[in-house]
């Protein structure tokens, strides 16, 4: 039984089938981008283990396919017929392919992407995730600093109850809306509604194809304060006027925001420049002159299109900008890719493998060619 399973997993046919299936996934994933957007298509076809085709048929996703391909390549290395001098190039090629797949796995599982928005003259030490959200409570009553309590994406599920242990409060997640329409209230509401929800209603609307264009919101209930802080609150992404509530003689506000990753350094935007196409208002290129501040020591750096900043494993790309009446802000795409070097290393190894295989087989090919001519 084990021998049969090994022969099946290490069969060259499995590798061919997985490559063909990846091509099919790429084809359908590309088509799906038009209907459901890039992020949803990526999550459905490539970042999944199993996906439902037409919502009914379970099929292997990208992760299962790559895992099977990795098992096939690694198990084939244990075949006795492979370990011969004349096949050393093939062995090296297999090792390079395994490194490439390993790098893809490391990137998929551990790497992160986000952005950093910095107003000219401002300084930021965190990145915002593109898709994940968090609920943050901020204590405003401390003299020298602000105290943050953050609840992660996984806790913000409808029907879930979060314990705010430090204050002895319970937070019930009532509703999580993917894309929000804000409407004025036309009738008086019960006193259970607090702050923003006294005057407005958060309603769902058709989600945009691209997830980054949606305006998510959260409706939750605070209970256990035994004062007027108890009630139902509503927050949405980008909300300017945040609700302040009092509890135990301290002031707090809550914020529904993109999940933040704090960096061991900060970036200050000194000057943002853009060059327009002649006779238009369309930007031809743009750049950010920044101070990279680490251990209170600034270092001036210029980030331009196709000329990113790399520091401490992070890569900062000049992605976009925000132009307002009185100021300009730069938008930097921030990537931390733990598998960044794997493609380079594996490409070198596979090139060496192909070259070795060619050198070993070249005399045989020349001899065969001469015999045909004779």
The whole-angstrom separation of Cα 106 and Cα 112 is 11
* pLDDT the model gives residue 336: 93
Taking a C-beta distance cutoff of 8 angstroms, is the pair 42, 29 a contact? Answer: yes
Statement: residue 374 has pLDDT above 70: no
Taking a C-beta distance cutoff of 8 angstroms, is the pair 82, 91 a contact? Answer: yes
Q: Which of 249, 275, 240, 262 is nearest to 334 (CA)?
A: 262
Statement: residue 278 has pLDDT above 90: no
Which distant-in-sequence residues (6+ apart) come within 8 Å of 359 by Cβ?
A: 89
* pLDDT the model gives residue 125: 94
CA 67 and chain centroid, separation: 21
Q: What is the pLDDT of residues 40-73, one digit of tens each?
A: 899 999 999 999 988 889 999 999 999 999 999 8
- Torsion, Cα 291 327 210 153, to 10 degrees, reads 60
Predicted structure pTM score:
0.81
Strand partners, 183: 201
* pLDDT the model gives residue 168: 85
| DSSP summary character for residue 242 | -
Higher pLDDT, 177 or 37: 177
Helix or strand holding residue 298 (H, E): strand 297-304
Statement: residue 371 has pLDDT above 80: no
State mean pLDDT over 95-124: 92
Q: What is the pLDDT of residues 234-265, one digit of tens each?
A: 999 989 888 888 877 888 889 999 999 999 99
State mean pLDDT over 163-184: 92
**What is the residue extent of each domain of the chain?**
2-111+340-373, 114-124+262-335, 130-261
Q: H helices within 2-87, ranges in order? A: 2-9, 12-36, 38-41, 62-76
């Amino acid at each position: 039984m084990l021998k049969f399973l090994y022969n099946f997993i290490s069969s060259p046919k499995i590798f061919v089938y997985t490559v063909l299936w990846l091509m099919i996934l790429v084809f359908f994933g590309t088509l799906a981008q038009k209907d459901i957007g890039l992020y949803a298509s990526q999550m459905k076809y490539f970042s999944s283990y199993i996906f439902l085709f037409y919502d009914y048929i379970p099929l292997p996703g990208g992760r299962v396919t790559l895992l099977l391909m990795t098992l096939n390549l690694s198990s084939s290395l244990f075949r006795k017929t492979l370990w011969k001098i004349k096949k050393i190039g093939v062995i090296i090629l297999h090792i390079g392919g395994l490194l490439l797949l390993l790098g893809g796995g490391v990137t998929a599982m551990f790497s992160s992407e986000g952005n950093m928005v910095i107003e000219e003259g401002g300084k930021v030490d965190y990145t915002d995730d593109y898709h994940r959200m968090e609920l943050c409570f901020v204590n405003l009553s401390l003299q020298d600093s602000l105290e943050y309590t953050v609840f992660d994406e996984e806790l913000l599920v409808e029907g879930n109850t979060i314990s705010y242990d430090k204050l002895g409060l319970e937070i019930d997640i009532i509703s999580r809306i993917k894309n929000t329409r804000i409407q004025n209230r036309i009738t008086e509401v019960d006193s259970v509604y607090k702050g923003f929800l006294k005057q407005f209603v958060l309603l769902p609307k058709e989600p945009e194809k691209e997830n980054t264009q949606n305006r998510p919101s959260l409706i939750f209930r605070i209970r256990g304060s035994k004062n007027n802080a108890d009630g139902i609150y509503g927050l949405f992404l980008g909300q300017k006027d945040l609700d302040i509530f009092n509890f135990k003689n301290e002031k707090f506000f809550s914020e529904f925001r993109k999940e933040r990753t704090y960096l061991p350094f900060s970036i200050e935007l000194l000057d943002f420049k853009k060059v327009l196409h002649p006779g238009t208002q369309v930007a031809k290129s743009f750049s950010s002159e920044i101070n990279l501040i680490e251990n209170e020591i600034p270092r001036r750096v210029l980030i331009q299109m196709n000329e990113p900043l790399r520091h401490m494993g992070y890569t900062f790309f000049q992605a976009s900008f925000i132009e307002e009446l009185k100021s300009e802000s730069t938008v930097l795409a921030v990537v931390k890719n733990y598998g960044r070097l794997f493609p380079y290393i594996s490409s070198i190894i596979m090139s060496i493998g192909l070259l070795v295989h060619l050198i070993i087989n070249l005399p045989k090919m020349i001899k065969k060619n001469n015999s045909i001519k004779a």
